Every structure is written in C-alpha cells, then in structure tokens.
Chains A and B, each alone.
Chain A
Amino acid sequence: MNSTKQMLAVQSVVQELLAELHAKSGCDKLRMTRESLAEILCEVGAKSTTAAASETELRTFFLNLRVEELALARACAAGNNSAWELFLTRYREKLYLSALRIAREDSAARELADSLYADLYGTTTRDGQRISKLASYTGRGSLEGWLRTVLAQEYVNRYRRTKRLISLDEESEEGTQFRAPAMKEEVSSADPRLQVATLESATDEALSCLSGEERMILSAYYLDERTLAEIARMLGVHESTISRKVDKLAKSLRKQLLAGLMRRDMSRRQAEEALEVDVRDLQLDIRRSLTQEKPPPAFSEKSEEAQATDGREWIGIPNPGGVPNGGHPKTSPIEAPKKLRT
C-alpha cells in the first residue's frame, strides 16, 4: 500500500520535472528516449527515497540527481556503443589512477581496474541479459566518485577475504575457548574479571552517549589510525575541526569513564588505575587464571584462599618467584609466549 503510494508520488514528481531533467541529461546525444529516462528516474526514486518523503523532498532529490551521468551510466549498461566511448574517454584514465592510489602498486592496480571493467561491462548474464554494474548507479553522487567507491569496495572485499583466511589460521591456532562471554559466566567473582566487566560496562555506557559521528571519528582516529586530514576529508569538514573534536572527545570520555567507575563503587584512584591498565593484560590475567585453575586442581584450594585475602597475591601464588607487580605476569616464563602472540 505504502509502496504503491510512494511509487505514484515519485511518478508524478518525475513527470513534472521530466522536461527539465531531460534537458539536463543530454539524452539526445546518447540516443536515449525521454520515456526510458522517466523509467530510470522512477526506479531510482523508488529505490532511494522512503515512503515518508514529502513532495518537496522528492523534488530536491530529483533536482540534485546527476542526471547526465546517470543517463550515461544507464546507456552504457544498456550496451550503447557511443555511450561506452564517451565513458571510456572520460573515465578510463581516472579509473586507473584511482586504482593505483587504492592498491598502491601497479600490477595490483591494473588487476583491480580490469576486474572492475569486467563488472562494469557485465560478464555475468541473467536470462540472456548482461548484468552491468553500471545499472546499479543511481546518480546520487558523481559517477567518478561512485567508480572510486566501487573500486575501494572491490579492494576491501579482496583484502577482507585474505584477512579472513589469516584470522582463521590464528583462530585455529589460538583456539576459541577464551572468548570473553564464556569467561564472565564462569567466574564472576574473580577480581580481574570483575574489574574487566565493570570497565566494559562503564565504557559501553560512556560510548553509548556519543553520536554516530563522534564514534566514527574516534574509531577512524584510534582504531584505523587515519590522519586528522583524512578524517576531515571523509567527513567534508576542516582538519582543525576534527583535531578539536578528537581532543575534546578523548578528554570527555575519560571523565565520563571515571565517573562511571566511581558510580560502580570504585575510588577515584582505583578508577584511574583501572583506566591506566592495559585491558589486554587484564584479559591475559583471566586467561592465566583459567588455565591455572582448571588443569591443576591442587591449586584450587589455595587460590580460593588467596582470593579471599588478596587478588594480587592470588596471581602470584603459582609462581612465587614471580614479581608481585600488580598482577602483571610479564616475567612468568610460562605465560610470556602467549602474551607475545596477542
């Protein structure tokens, strides 16, 4: 019901703007009829707008469309030779340059570009029809930008495939038995585990207060290690804006985390210490405690006693010669290799 209503609204707006859009699209050069353009526009409109879109929204949507590039892409997808010629003269060089920039290496760039050409031309067929990737272009952004995005997607997909292979190796090597949820359920009273859980919940709470953009900036800066300039360009704002935002976000997050931890019955000092601790170390402690708890049952009693008195000592018990450095078993000869691996 809603979709038919939306379709009707789209159609009426398309009919209204068709003359203008047709003039803008330069369809005549591509020997594309006005009717086929209207069809394409309706399809794009139905795909990219929501049923709730008002008529003015639809109107702005269509007026902002890159009709000329859309017509070119669709003409190429339909196998129009003159359109292909135009497309290649316009974009061949740019496509290769973009591929080179993404792959950073000549042969890989050529491979990437070639595979994209194959997709664009449509090597796969369905019902005897070539399916060109260009048919999925809707003209919302520039065709050049779209081509770059498709290249990047292709590149990331490949990278992801290879990455997945590696990570599978790692997983099989390390095993999956140490996943956090299982851990938590198993031992909830252990101090490091409790600390991790507290930290995690406080962190999630603080993070949930951030907007999508703020989280994205944090992730891009701290996880992807993008430069401020790159993030600025991704978001289309000035570099100094991003710089200010990252600085502010990191500080406010820290404050909120401290406040959250203190609400969770930690003293300020404890909370600050908890934040300084490398969580991977804490998790390692948990891992260690698990490995130590299960296989040697002889230690279980002692460990329970130790647990009752002091968590730190409890860690030190299996290796009394170890350094009592706040539970960091870095010097432990048994655990050292595992830590290095992570």
Chain B
Amino acid sequence: MPQLPQIVRERLKTSPPPGIHPDADVLTAFGERLLPESERAVVLDHLARCGDCREIIALALPVSEAADVAPLRNAQRGWFSRSALRWGMVAAGIVAAASVGIHQIRVHQRANVTVAHVTSRAQEQEQQQESDARIPIQAPQAQTAAPANSPREESAVKSPAAVVSNKPASAHETKDFLQPGRTGRAGSAEASAMVASGAAVGGPRRNPKMAMAEPPRDLPFAQGLRKSMSPATAKQAPVPAPSPEVPPSVSETVEVQGQSNQIATQSGSLSQEQSLQGRNAGEPQLSAERADVVERAKPPAAPSDTPTAAPASTPRWTISSSGSLQRSFDGGNTWQNVAVAAKPPVIGNVMTAESVARPQADKSFKKSRSREENKSQTPTISNPMFRAVAAAGLEVWAGGSGSMLYHSRDGGEQWTRVLPSAHGIVLTGDITTVEFSDRQHGTVSTSSSEVWTTGDGGQSWQKQ
C-alpha cells in the first residue's frame, strides 16, 4: 500500500470531534448492513472521525466470520489458483479424451463380440442342418423327445403342460381358437410358413452378405415352422429331423429363393410383404441393434454379465451371449440359466393365426436347441433366444426374437407368453428392448421399429 503523507494522518486524527456516538443498536445494524442508505452515510461519517466507534465496530465483528477470512486470503493468491486451474483443465482434458477412447474401444469390442456370436450361431445352424441330413445321433439325449413321430403328436396333445415339445399341436389349437375373427387376414399359415422356412434355410447359403445376420433370426423360426407343417416328421430333440424329411424341405427352399432372392423372412412378420419390408429395414441394422441391446441390458461397468437393476434380495437378470435368460441370486457372481416354460400366449385384443403359429414353432426350435446347450432336464422347458430382459422386483419381462415376450410374476419360476396386440395389429419383429419403469408401465420395441407400451402390466398394449 502506498504511504500516506504524514500530514494527512495528522489531519485525519485531528478531525472535528464527533457529536453523539451512535448507540449499540445502530452500530449493530450498521455492522450487519441493515441500515437504510441515508442512515448508513451518517454513521459512516461519524466513524470516519471517531476512532472509538471504529474500534467498537471492529471488536463486535462476529467470531464466526473470522473463519471466512482465511479462504478470502487464499483466494487472493490469484497466480496460484489460476495455475492450479490451468493444470486442472489439462488434467480434465486428458481424462475426457481417455474416457472417450475407452468408450470407443468398448463399443467396438462389444460389436465384435456380437458379430462373432452371430456368426457362430450361423455355423451352428448349418451344422445342425447337416446333422439333420445325416442321422439323428443325438436324439436319445433329449429326454423329452418322443420315440416315434406319431406317438409324439399324441403325447403332446395329451399333456398340455408340455407346451414346448408339441409345437404342432399347440399351434393348431391356438389357430383354431383364434380363427373365427381372423381368417381373411393373410394367406394360410402354412403358405407363409413355407415361404418363411424356405427363405430362412436358403438365406445363409445363398446370400453370403447376410450369412452372419440371418441365421440366428430366421433359422430357428423357419425350422420350427417347417416342423410344425409336417408334424409327423418334426423332431423335438436337439437333433431333430430324420434324414428322409430334410431333402423335400430343402428343395422347397430353393424354389422360393429362386423367386425372391432378397426376400428374407422377418421372424415376426405376418405376410411375405411385411417380411420383405421388415428384412430390408431390419437387416442392415442388425449388428448395431444387437450392440444396442447388449448395451441396454448391461451397464457399461461389466460388459459380459451385467444384471439388470434389481434389489439385492431379488434375483438379477441378464441375457447370456447365447441368448438364454440367466438369473443370479448372489449379486452377479454366479449365473444360472432360467428355463422359460411356454404356455399359451396371453392374447391382447386380437391375434392372427399366423402370429400364433409362428412364435410357437419358433419356440419349439429354440427349445430343442437350448436343451442341447443347457442340458435342461425338464421336457416342458426350453430357452428361446432372448435379447432383452427387464425386472422390477419379482416381475420379470424377457423379450427376444420372433416377437417373443415372456412375463413372470414370481421371479422367473413361472412364465407366461405375452403377445402384445391392439386393434387387430400384433407386435411383429424381434424384440430388441424391454423397459419397465414399474410393474405397470413398460415399453417394448422391436427390430421392425415398432414401439409398444403397456400401462397395466401387460394386460393391454398400445402401438406407437
């Protein structure tokens, strides 16, 4: 601070003596800045001349504010704080760049995993078909598999609980049940199913570009359909078809493909046209979609098995890389596959015969496949290919390919198939995301860009 000439100090001291001192009330109000401006000026004028009152004000400063002075002094070291800020900025920049990089790498890896997984699926399917053509070696493994073709049909009809095993029976039943209002809607179920199976079987071989993406979607469905169309020959066992059955279906497939090279059935589609649109729209996005699904289902911290958010007491849920539904009761340390029993779908408002037939067939295939994978012991249970799961307490919703949506109210013990439909329109396509904000309100979106919402726990649905 600049020095003040001595004369100024002297004259400041010898200012005219102040009149009456302001009382304690006024001084307090001054110190607390509560005085109106006019009064404050008067007090200031007095303080300028009266050392005693200045001292009183200074002494009466609140104790607590003494602590505030320290930070103020620190704040005055501008250069320090500024340099600290500068380094802080640099550090923040590095951290931001690093996190973006890591995120990119993760996303990339995830996409790779998805693609690899899909590819392996395709190979698996091909192998399966090849083995179909040879001999049903593994048939004995499947405990649920019926010894012969015709008996199986009967057993299926007899035991409704074994929904999984008897695809044809349930499909027909449901179709009959639904038929009254809906016959005219699309061509016969068989016709569309034939097309679907043909395209699906042929797809991976004829169109190499689609090979990676198609098999997991179409093959299960198509194969299931094929089985449902020919109940006598269909095999529920992991390695199903006896050799005589396979050649005809293949030949059919070839024909269909010859007509429509680009046609690929969307597993959830009702008609050929729809499937064409769906495929065209859906396929290119497949890997992206799946990556998306993986991301949504799993928080970024644990890329491989991250459960959906659920309280510690209730099981945590996830989808395995092979598409099976898994739950964990110990907070994610160990995971067990959950078998989803396929009961007759819960029908929304209206439902088409096709839509019922297709998912059922679809399911049957997946069941057999998953049995192979999981060695599940129960005949009535299988694991379809899931893509998304949402859990709120014991309420679990799981969705996957072929507009497959399952709901469990008891933490995964019992499952109900739900087929969202409204005003004669049913959900089509693969379910890619399932989100339930609470027990009642949920949103399901599909690979065909449909979004379905429910506000009553799945009783009724609205398409958006």
Q: Do A and B come from one complex?
A: yes
List, in ascending order, chain B residues with CB within 8 A of A140's CB.
25-26, 28-29, 34-35
Tell me whether A136 and B25 are in contact (CB under 8 A).
Answer: yes
- Which of A122-130, A145-153, A182-190, A312-320 lies at the interface with chain B? A145-153
Stretch at the interface among A233-241, A295-303, A325-333: A233-241
Residues 392-431 of B contacting A (Cβ, < 8 Å): none
- Complex CA–CA separation, A94 to B45 (angstroms): 30
Q: In the bound complex, what is the Cα–Cα distance between A57 and B36 (angstroms)?
A: 9
Give CA–CA (A43, B160) in the complex, Å: 94
A156 at the A/B interface (Cβ < 8 Å)?
yes
A223 with B51: CB separation less than 8 A = yes
**Which residues of chain B from 281 to 315 have any CB-CB distance to chain A below 8 Å in the complex?**
none
Contacting pair B55 A199 (CB below 8 A): no
Interface check A121, CB cutoff 8 A: no
Count A-B pairs with CB separation below 8 Å. 183
Q: Name the segment of B2-10, B167-175, B183-191, B382-390 touching the other chain.
A: B2-10
User: Are B52 and A156 interface neighbours, CB within 8 A?
Assistant: yes
- B54 adjacent to A250 (CB under 8 Å): no
| Option from A97, A200, A216, A220 in Cβ contact (under 8 Å) with B7 | A200
Could you say which residues of chain B place their CB within 8 Å of the CB of A257? 5, 7-8
Interface residues in A100-157 by Cβ distance below 8 A to B read 101-102, 136-138, 140-142, 144-146, 148-153, 155-156
A179 to nearest B CB, angstroms?
A: 11
Smallest Cβ distance from A8 to chain B, in angstroms? 21
Q: Once the chains are docked, how many angstroms separate the CA of A214 from the CA of B72?
A: 22
Given A152-B60, A218-B4; A233-B65 close (CB under 8 Å): yes
Chain B: minimal CB distance from A341 (Å):
17
Closest chain-B Cβ to A44's Cβ sits at a distance in Å of 9
Q: Tell me the complex Cα distance, A94–B60, Å.
A: 12
Does B86 sit within 8 A of A, measured CB to CB? Answer: no
B82 within 8 A of A: no
B83 at the interface (CB under 8 A from A): no
Query: Are B7 and A213 in touch, CB under 8 angstroms?
Result: no
Asked if B41 CB lies within 8 Å of chain A CBs, one says yes
Residues of A within 8 A of B32 (CB): 141-142, 145, 236
Residues of chain A lying within 8 A (CB to CB) of residue B56: 149, 152-153, 156
Task: Enumerate chain B residues within 8 angstroms of A200, measured Cβ to Cβ.
Answer: 7, 11
Judged by a CB distance under 8 angstroms, whether B20 is at the interface is no
Min Cβ gap B17→A in Å is 13
A212:B45 contact, CB within 8 angstroms: yes
Which of A148, A216, A253 sits near B8, CB closer than 8 Å? A253
Find the A residue at minimum CB distance from B9: A222
In the complex where A141-B29, A212-B41, A279-B7 touch, is A101 in contact with B63 (Cβ < 8 A)?
yes
A87 at the interface (CB under 8 A from B): no
Chain A residues contacting B65 (CB-CB under 8 Å) are 233
Query: For the complex, is A174 an interface residue (Cβ under 8 Å from B)?
Result: no
By a CB distance below 8 angstroms, the chain A residues around B33 are 236
Q: List the A side residues contacting B2 at CB < 8 Å.
A: 247, 250-251, 254
Residues of chain B within 8 A of A150, CB atoms compared = 24
Asked, given contacts A141-B34, A152-B60, whether A203 binds B8 with beta carbons under 8 Å apart, the answer is yes
Instruction: Verify A149–B4 contact, CB threshold 8 A.
Output: no
* Contact of A280 with B by CB under 8 A: yes
User: When the two chains form their complex, are residues A207 and B69 in contact, meaning their CB atoms are under 8 A apart?
Assistant: no
From residue B113, how far is it (CB to closest CB) to chain A in Å?
Answer: 58
Report the bound CA distance from A239 to B1 in whole Å.
Answer: 14
B60 touches A246 (CB 8 A): no
> Residues of B contacting A151 with CB < 8 Å?
59-60
B73 at the interface (CB under 8 A from A): yes
What residues on A are CB-neighbors of B46 within 8 Å?
212
B6: contacting residue among A102, A145, A278, CB under 8 A: A278
Interface residue A162 (Cβ < 8 Å from any Cβ of B): no
> What 0/1 pattern do residues 29 to 73 of B give for CB contact below 8 A with A?
101111110000110111111011011111111110100010011
Closest partner residue, chain B, to A218 (CB atom)? B12
Cα A16 to Cα B24 with chains together (Å): 28
Complex alpha-carbon distance, A234 and B69, angstroms: 12
**Interface residue from A57, A136, A246 paired with B24 (Cβ < 8 Å):** A136
Contacts of A278 in B (CB 8 A): 6
Would B31 and A141 count as touching, CB distance under 8 A?
yes
Interface assignment of B13: CB less than 8 Å from any CB of chain A: yes
Contact in complex: B58, A250 (CB < 8 Å): no
- Chain B residues positioned under 8 Å from A214 (CB to CB): 48
From A215, A224, A280, contact of B55 by CB (8 A):
A224
Q: In whole angstroms, what is the CA distance A151 to B69 when docked?
A: 22
Within the assembled complex, what's the spacing in Å between the Cα atoms of A278 and B6? 6
Asked if A25 is at the interface (CB within 8 A of a chain B CB), the reply is no
Chain A 177-212 interface 0/1 with B at a Cβ cutoff of 8 Å (1 = within): 000000000000000000000011001101100011
- The CA of A150 and the CA of B21, in the complex, are separated in Å by 13
- Closest approach, in angstroms, between the C-beta of A205 and any C-beta of chain B? 10
A98, A229, A230, A276 pick with most chain B CB within 10 angstroms: A229
Nearest CB in chain B to that of A61: its residue: B36
Known contacts A140-B28, A224-B55, A239-B76, A212 near B44 by CB under 8 Å: yes
Q: How far is the CB of B9 from chain A (nearest CB, A)?
A: 6
A51 CB–B CB distance under 8 Å:
no
Nearest B residue to A201 via CB reads B11
Cα A140 to Cα B35 with chains together (Å) = 8
Known: A224-B54, A279-B7. A247 touches B23 (CB 8 A): no
Asked if A219 lies at the interface with its beta carbon under 8 angstroms from chain B, I say yes
In the complex the two chains form, is B72's CB within 8 Å of A238's CB? yes
Chain A CB within 8 A of B434 CB: no
Please determine whether A204 and B76 come into contact, CB atoms closer than 8 angstroms: no
The reply to whether B12 and A98 contact each other, CB–CB distance below 8 Å, is no
A246 and B6 form a contact (CB under 8 A): no
> Quick check: A64 and B11 within 8 Å, CB to CB?
no
Tell me which residues across on chain A come within 8 A of B55, comparing CB atoms. 152, 156, 224
- Say yes or no for A339: interface residue by CB 8 A criterion: no
Q: Is A160 an interface residue (CB 8 A)?
A: yes
Partner of A149, one of B3, B31, B51: B31
Q: A224-B55, A233-B61, A250-B1 are in contact. Are A216 and B31 (CB under 8 A)?
A: no
Q: Which residue of B lies closest to A227 (CB)?
A: B69
The chain A residue sitting closest to B48, CB to CB, is A215
User: Given the known A-B contacts A141-B31, A150-B24, are A204 and B11 also in contact in the complex, defined by CB atoms under 8 Å?
Assistant: yes
In the A-B complex, list the 6 residue pairs whose CB atoms are closest, starting with the nearest.
A141-B28, A215-B48, A212-B45, A152-B59, A212-B44, A140-B29
A149-B57, A213-B44 known, 5 other contacts, Cβ within 8 Å: A136-B24, A152-B55, A212-B45, A224-B54, A257-B5
20 cross-chain CB contacts under 8 A: A101-B63, A141-B25, A146-B25, A149-B27, A149-B60, A152-B55, A203-B8, A203-B10, A212-B44, A212-B47, A220-B58, A223-B12, A224-B55, A226-B54, A234-B57, A236-B31, A250-B2, A254-B2, A257-B5, A280-B10
